[in-house]
């Protein structure tokens, strides 16, 4: 019979840390970009990759920009991280004018 190893205290600590990091990200250097990315509709994302619902790449892009914002990463370094996500990540990022500008540099 499986045992339940769920530790509510550990879960709460991890949740608190995640919320703290999220708050730092939304107050950081790329807060406007995060808000714009969060505002993209499913239709806008699907239009980038017809026939492919690639929300995983979108989620990865959100994580990259959140962490870049949290640590105030330089634009060149953010660009490098976005490029590592591949063509689809770059296309999604270009839906946000300020990220598109960073990708042109």
Whole-number pLDDT of residue 3 = 57
Mean pLDDT, rounded, for 50-59? 75
Give the Cα separation of 72 and 24 in Å (integer): 10
Write out pLDDT tens, residues 63-101: 999 999 989 999 999 999 999 999 999 999 999 999 999
pLDDT at 1 over 60: no
Decide: 54 and 88 in contact? Cβ < 8 Å.
Answer: yes
Which residue ranges make up each domain of the chain?
Answer: 30-104
pLDDT at 105 over 60: yes
Decide: 99 and 59 in contact? Cβ < 8 Å.
Answer: no
Q: How confident is the model at residue 51 (pLDDT cuts 50, 70, 90)?
A: low
Whole-number pLDDT of residue 2 = 55
């Amino acid at each position: 019979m499986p045992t339940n190893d769920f530790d509510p205290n550990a879960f709460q600590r991890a949740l608190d840390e995640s919320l703290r990091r999220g708050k730092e990200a939304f107050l950081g250097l790329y807060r406007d970009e995060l808000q714009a990315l969060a505002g993209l509709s499913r239709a806008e994302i699907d239009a980038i990759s017809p026939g492919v619902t690639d929300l995983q790449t979108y989620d990865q892009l959100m994580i990259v920009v959140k962490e870049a914002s949290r640590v105030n990463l330089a634009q060149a370094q953010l660009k490098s991280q976005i490029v590592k996500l591949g063509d689809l990540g770059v296309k999604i990022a270009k839906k946000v004018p300020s990220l598109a500008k960073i990708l042109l540099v």
